[in-house]
Amino acid sequence: MSKSTPAISSVKARAVVTPMARPVKNAFGVIDVAPLVLIDIETDQGITGHSYLFAYSKVTLKPFVHLVEEIGRDLIGKPVAPFELMKLMDARFRLLGWQGLVGMAVSGLDMAFWDILGRAASKPVVELLGGSARPIRCYDSYGAVEADADEKALLRSLDQGFKGIKIKGGDGDAANDERRVKGLRRLLGPDVALMLDFNQSLDPAEAKRRIARLAPYDLTWIEEPVAQENLSGHAEVRETSEIPIQAGENWWFPRGFAEAIAAGASDFIMPDLMKVGGITGWLNVAGQADAASIPMSSHILPEASAHVLAVTPTAHWLEMLDCAGAILADPIKIADGTLTARGPGLGLEWNETAIAKYLV
């Protein structure tokens, strides 16, 4: 193989809808399937890079696939140099902006670029970033579960070594949130971290009331209590909260995090690789978090997140929510509550038989 940098020869995307290993109920409904966009970037050196995106809704799949391929068409012939390619895509969409499907498509392409470079070097991406594959502490991510009805599943998570459990709230009144948290704290005991995610379902006044009511139950964080774009509202809630505030999965690209950090919007941050600008964007935000001494966690995409958290100075928790296991040839494995990055590249290999079954 040539030692020159691979160049992009084609960009292809496919849509699948796979079953969720565990349906997730939140304040707005139930997510029981995973609409995914699978990205394959071929190069002139015969190396193909992979990544995937969680599309949230089946409605977005067709335009999402088209958008990934159209953006990719303009990159054919370009060397796989992620920082340079990010500049090109930034210039193309400067007037439109990064939010929404465009930002997610750009992020997915970036992850596949890094996968190519790792495969070309026969190394996991984490080593290209100057780190080494090491076990990253995970929490198991649940929906709006109950201590009695879901006891078996929760105890299975503890048996797998998870030292943290995240649940959803906001699907009822404050009394319902307290009842759920109280029951789970009793079941899990005092040594397991318990996080509560409101999924942006409250206004600042109601968030402050509920957090005050939940303070006695030793929660590790309250996640997205108010609308993600309401940075002043997050800061207002944080000012009086006895529980740390977590946010960031819906903040877009490094600039969004710079604005949120400047606003004092949260105690912790948790970028989503498909909204922060992929691995290239993540590295920028990791520097911001280090400078501000803010613990930094991940949101979904555990396979790629294990690579970037291993080189994040303020790495905190990795979210374990399996969206892609059904279409991977070698799904991720949790070992004593941790996940270790695999290679080459991001360690993603498709199960084409399963993809054919779930292809849209």
Mean pLDDT of 279-293: 98
Task: Sketch out the chain's domains with CATH numbers.
Answer: 8-122 (3.30.390.10), 127-351 (3.20.20.120)
Q: How far apart are CA 176 and CA 155, in angstroms?
A: 22
Spatial distance between the Cα atoms of 160 and 3, rounded to a whole number of angstroms:
43
The CA-atom distances, in angstroms, between 121 and each of 43, 126, 305, 327 are: 14, 12, 20, 25
Structure tokens at 7: 């160049």
HSE-CB at 314 with a 13 A cutoff on CA atoms is: 20
- The residues annotated with a catalytic role in the active site are 168, 299
Instruction: Kindly report, residue by residue over 169-226, the tens digit of the pLDDT.
Output: 998 899 999 999 999 999 999 999 999 999 999 999 999 999 999 999 999 999 999 9
Q: What is the pLDDT of residue 42?
A: 98
pLDDT band at 25 (very low <50, low <70, confident <90, very high): confident
* The one-letter amino acid at 340: T
User: Cis bond leading into 302, ω under 30°?
Assistant: no
Instruction: Please state whether beta strands 29-43 and 245-247 pair in parallel, antiparallel, or not at all (unpaired).
Output: unpaired
- Arithmetic mean of pLDDT, 123-152: 96
Among the listed residues 12, 16, 100, 77, the one whose alpha carbon sits nearest the alpha carbon of residue 50: 12
Q: Are 85 and 108 in contact (CB under 8 A)?
A: no
Do the beta carbons of residue 64 and residue 15 sit within 8 Å? yes
Residue 21 pLDDT level (bands cut at 50, 70, 90) = confident
Lowest mean pLDDT among 96-100, 147-151, 194-198, 242-246: 96-100
How confident is the model at residue 3, as a pLDDT? 58
Write down the pTM of the prediction.
0.95
In the numeric block, the tokens 């068409």 are attached to: 73
Q: Quote the CA–CA distance of 51 and 177 in Å, as a whole number.
A: 36
Percent of the chain with pLDDT over 90: 92
Question: Average of pLDDT values for 280-295?
Answer: 98
Task: For strands 221-223 and 245-247, give the pairing.
Answer: parallel
